[in-house]
Amino acid sequence: MQPGRTVFAQVMDHVSRFEFQKCVTRYDGEYKTSRFSCWDQYLCMAFAQLTYRESLRDVEACLRAVQPRLYHLGFRSRIARSTLADANEGRDWRIYADLAHGLIRIARSLYAHDALDVDLAETVYALDATIIELCLSVFPWAHYRRRDAAITLHTLIDLRGSIPTVVQITAGQCPDVAALDSFVLETGSIYIMDRGYVDFERLYRFTIEAAYFVTRTTHGIRLLRRTSQPVDASTGLISDHIVVLATKESRRHYPQPLRRVHYRDPDTKKPFVFLTNNLILPALTIALLYKSRWQVELFFKWIKQHLRIKAFYGVSENAVKTQIWIALSVYVLVAIVKKRLGLDVSLYKLLQILSVTLFEKMPISTAVFDVAPKFDEIDDGNQLPLFDL
């Protein structure tokens, strides 16, 4: 690492400029652009995410306050709010979506050997969706209900590292289960979903493509028990049955046997009934797998707390998607930095440290070593433990 480089520049070094330019070229991102490049736009928006800026005017004021340092941060153009707003409105959001996907591939390889809560060699994913509410009068393109606007983030999380592997941004009216239609399933992988995704015609695709799902049963599902397997009641297990769908119409959509695991949580005493097409794994593993689905809920809460994805700098669909994809790329980028540098600090504290040291000229590891102890006495309260390994 060259001495005297700012923390911000060191973080951005983990983004390949070659790969970034390929994304720009793919969508003609700099067509008829003479000065303010896509890279300048990304740096501005990444700065806004890392320092939690409230508006583009806020971004402009903060960056102009350190104008002499901007060249060393990587900026090559003068920062103007109107120019940045135009770039967010006009430049294809897919540039930053492709960039985020490239960073996701890097992050997944770095976290591939992290341990799961359950001792399994298979890749385990958690699938869920979250609503981001908007104002209908400001975002009329995102119509949700009669008087509401919203967008939905459909997200597939790799539980090794809590890395988002697939993200779809749709209008709020799009049902969660529709996301299954476009997902590419990996043979042998396990997908954990809540009962909002129970659609047997869609779930049968998992069996056809040799992938596994774990979900919960919903009211009204009629099942016929074929065989029973012994369980250890001391672990909370109540029953483990091989079942088939009872009605002719249901069997037409899903003709193969299923497995129903009835489990009572030893701590909360709450009963759960799980449904899966995996007939091999121990019943307790099925229950523990579903419990690990909570990581995707933590991911949603975490990014809403620490990234700017609830209030937007622009009102068009392109500007909103640009901001969300850049926010996700920053999330993954910080996870990459943490892993590559072997930083023994939670992601929450790392982001806090970066937010106050971006313009300092010191190695990131030194910044963490010097500043992190000052956070040790701070009670994280309800902060969420992503990457706190």
pLDDT, tens digit, 9 for 90 and up, residues 326-370? 999 999 999 999 999 999 888 888 988 998 889 888 899 888 886
pLDDT over 90, % of the chain: 57
Q: How confident is the model at residue 104, as a pLDDT?
A: 94
* CA 253 remoteness from chain centre: 31
The whole-angstrom separation of Cα 68 and Cα 359 is: 11
By residue range, what is the domain housing residue 318?
Answer: 7-96+314-375
What is the C-alpha to C-alpha distance for residues 112 and 124, in angstroms, rounded to an integer?
Answer: 11
pLDDT score of 189: 94
pLDDT of 41 over the 70 cut: yes
Segment holding 126, helix H or strand E = strand 124-134
293 within domain boundaries? no
Average pLDDT of the segment spanning 314-331: 94
Rounded to whole angstroms, the Cα distance separating 155 from 309 reads 14
Q: For residue range 229-268, list pLDDT tens digits in order.
A: 999 999 999 999 999 999 988 899 999 999 999 999 888 8
Q: CA–CA separation, 137 vs 24, rounded Å?
A: 32
How many structural domains comprise the chain?
1
**CA distance linking residue 218 with residue 364, whole number of Å:** 49
Residue 279 inside a domain? The answer is no
What pLDDT shows up at residue 153?
92
pLDDT at position 384 over 80: no
Q: Is 384 within the bounds of a domain?
A: no
CB 287 within 8 A of CB 117: no
Mean pLDDT of the chain: 88
Residue 154 near residue 179 (C-beta atoms within 8 A): yes
More confident residue, 372 or 97: 97
Residue with tokens 């001495």: 3
Q: Report the SS3 class of residue 175.
A: coil
pLDDT tier at 305 (50, 70, 90 boundaries)? confident
pLDDT of the residue at 78? 86
The pLDDT tens digits for 160-215 are 888 899 899 988 888 889 889 888 899 999 999 999 899 999 999 999 999 999 99
Whether this model's pTM surpasses 0.85: yes
Query: What distance in Å separates the CA atoms of residue 69 and residue 72, rounded to the nearest whole number?
Result: 5
- Decide if 191 is inside a domain: no
- CB-based contact 149:103 (threshold 8 Å): no
258 within 8 A of 204, measured Cβ to Cβ:
no
142 domain residue, yes or no: no
The verdict on residue 111 lying in a domain is no
pLDDT score, position 380: 52
Helices (H), 245-346: 248-253, 283-291, 294-306, 317-340
pLDDT, residue 3, reads: 56
Q: Would 158 be classed as within a structural domain?
A: no
Q: What is the pLDDT of residue 226?
A: 94
Which residues contact residue 169 at a Cβ distance below 8 angstroms, ignoring those fewer than 6 apart? 151, 152, 153, 154, 321, 324
CB 167 within 8 A of CB 155: yes
Q: For residue 381, is pLDDT > 50?
A: no
289, 194 Cβ separation under 8 angstroms: no
